[in-house]
A = this chain, B = another copy of it.
Amino acid sequence: MIPSRKKVYVEGSRPDIQVPFAEVELSGGEPPVRLYDTSGPGSDPEEGLPQLRQKWIEERGIDEKCNTQLHYAKKGMITPEMEFVAIREGLQPEFVRDEIAAGRAILPNNINHPESEPMIIGKNFLVKINANIGTSAVSDSIADEVEKLTWATQWGGDTVMDLSTGKHIHATREHIIRNSAVPIGTVPLYQALEKVNGDPTKLNWEVYRETIIEQAEQGVDYMTVHAGVLLSYVPLAANRVTGIVSRGGSIMAAWCLAHHEESFLYTHYRELCEIFAKYDIAFSLGDGLRPGSIADANDEAQFAELRTLGELTKIAWEYDVQVMVEGPGHVPMHKIKENVDLQQEICQEAPFYTLGPLTTDVAPAYDHITSAIGAAMIGWFGTAMLCYVTPKEHLGLPNRDDVKEGVIAYKIAAHAADLAKGHPKAQEWDDALSKARFEFRWEDQFNLSLDPQRAREYHDETLPAEPAKTAHFCSMCGPKFCSMKISQELKEYAAQGMAEKSEEFREAGGKVYLPVVEKK
């Protein structure tokens, strides 16, 4: 939890439904503001987190075939998970249930991950963000990754993907899941590849299936499956500027080429659905042929795969398995909307989950910004979850600071999208902060911000003295021109007529509010 915020819980229809919020207390007689809270109860390296959902799962009883929220929703049930989500989003439980039943939203929560606080991914809810973490061949500390998980969710990560490769994949994931109050996603293909010593041509359905079940048992909530990379699509990527840039996509392309066979993910897809239904794992249908550069955006390779993802979405729904669909990547602004519109049409409004997109390739080291632009826009257009990009994208592995920069940039994008979509609770937050700013309630302004500590530090860099925190000016215009008078003057003026007020104003010394806010 960010310091200066207080965790409060709202109780649902039963005492074990306790929905967390981050409350910001304000001065000046303003009511406190309650913000969506992803931080969870922290981590416990020894015991793991409390099993919040265990009782709900047991009450329902575990079916041998299907235990998905989609299944319950279709039957008209409102589960405690759905009610939890409804309170969290400020909506009616029936609405949550209907959106899940229609496939327009998913509530990812493996029955073996009872530690998770339910959340929902769908275009009619708050836009969510995902943070990627994970060990690699050159960096493999489990403790570091659990720390990154806690860190990412403190700043607002709604889900976390564990993309570990290298050694200790199983153990890393175990520690992450047991300490995670947010849903955990994976790309099981990475671990399967480790099991065949890194040779993609040695992959097969059996190894993959075994990996899926291993991860399902641990409690992975959603899995990226690159089942749309068909043999016949691979040549479509041949003449691209940047070929295939998705790891999963290139692994499957290599397999298809080597065997000259259709992808085993595609041919065994119905078996996957059966497994996913049992654990309530959600599909995140991977876009293995997504563009890796501006030049390759919206090409035939990408859209051919998307059409297959549409097919696969419908098949998953036959099994009552929850599905979202992944999207690009690198897309210039004028080609972004087409991505959402096509995905929503082809995949019948299944939630879209995009990586950025980056709106230009010329700024490595700043791709959290190049992609926050695209992410905000695609979120507005209807994307349900945004996968973050850190400043290290394309260059190296993100450290703790990079994770924070990525999460904050994406919280900005997601919230800007919520505002543009007109989510009723979104603008309350902005209005509270704007009002605090205008009224010189500096501490309130800091505390309401996405990063109170940095906002305070930046203010203090120019005006460190404590009285400046209550001063009716800031360093941009200095003390000489700043007062709050004009706002009051303006209001009275409008109310009482202009002529007499102008006289009064001049007699009072003509003091004027010069803005604290902007430089010109």
Residues of A within 8 A of B (CB): 132, 134, 136-139, 161, 163, 165-166, 187, 198-201, 224, 231, 234-235, 237-239, 241-248, 250-251, 253-254, 257-260, 286, 292-296, 330, 332-334, 355, 359-366, 368-370, 372-373, 376-377, 380, 391-397, 399, 408-409, 411-413, 415-417, 419-422, 427, 429-431, 433-435, 437-438, 445-446, 448-451, 454-455, 457-459, 461-463, 474-481, 486-487, 489-491, 493-495, 498-499, 501-503, 505-506, 510, 512-520
Contact = CB atoms under 8 A, between A and B. Distances in A.
A241 B430 CA distance: 11
A241 B475 contact: no
B234 A490 contact: yes
21 contacts: A134-B519, A137-B477, A198-B480, A224-B520, A235-B490, A238-B495, A243-B490, A245-B517, A250-B515, A251-B514, A253-B512, A259-B502, A260-B498, A260-B503, A330-B434, A333-B417, A362-B430, A365-B458, A366-B409, A366-B451, A368-B369
A295 B431 contact: yes
A487 B449 CA distance: 46
A208 B362 CA distance: 44
B520 A248 contact: yes
B363 A408 contact: yes
Given A364-B445, A476-B396, A514 B247 contact: yes
A139 to B, nearest CB: 7
Given A360-B416, A458-B391, A519-B132, A512 B250 contact: yes
B257 A505 contact: yes
Contacts of A461: 392, 396, 399
Contacts of A292: 434, 438, 515, 517-518
Contacts of A370: 412, 416
A427 B394 CA distance: 19
Nearest to A414: B360
A292 B163 CA distance: 42
A495 B491 CA distance: 74
Contacts of A516: 394
A376, A413, A450, A498 interface centre (most CB from chain B within 10 Å) = A376
Given A136-B475, A260-B499, 7 more contacts: A132-B520, A136-B478, A198-B480, A235-B494, A238-B490, A332-B416, A396-B476
A333 B494 CA distance: 30
B476 A397 contact: yes
Contact of A517 (B242, B333, B369, B479): B242
Contact of A363 (B237, B412, B435): B412
Nearest to A185: B520
B494 A419 contact: no
What is the oligomeric copy number?
A: 2
A155 to B, nearest CB: 12
**Which 10 A-B pairs rank lowest in CB-CB distance, beginning with the nearest?**
A137-B478, A293-B434, A254-B512, A260-B502, A396-B462, A201-B510, A333-B420, A238-B494, A235-B494, A359-B416
Given A462-B138, A489-B257, A517 B394 contact: yes
A518 B136 contact: no
A114 to B, nearest CB: 26
Given A199-B510, A334-B380, A395 B250 contact: no
Contacts of A237: 490
A229 B487 CA distance: 16
Contacts of A429: 362
A373 B370 CA distance: 9
Nearest to A380: B333
A366 B405 CA distance: 10
B244 A293 contact: no
A31 to B, nearest CB: 16
Contacts of A132: 519-520
B449 A520 contact: no
Contacts of A372: 369, 372-373
A137 B482 CA distance: 12
A433, A491, A515 interface centre (most CB from chain B within 10 Å) = A515
A394 to B, nearest CB: 6
A138 B457 CA distance: 17
Contact of A235 (B137, B421, B493): B493
Contacts of A475: 136, 138-139, 396-397
Nearest to A409: B369
Contact of A366 (B365, B450, B478): B450
A136 B395 contact: no
Contacts of A417: 333
Contacts of A517: 242, 245, 292, 394
A430 B293 contact: yes
A395 B442 CA distance: 9
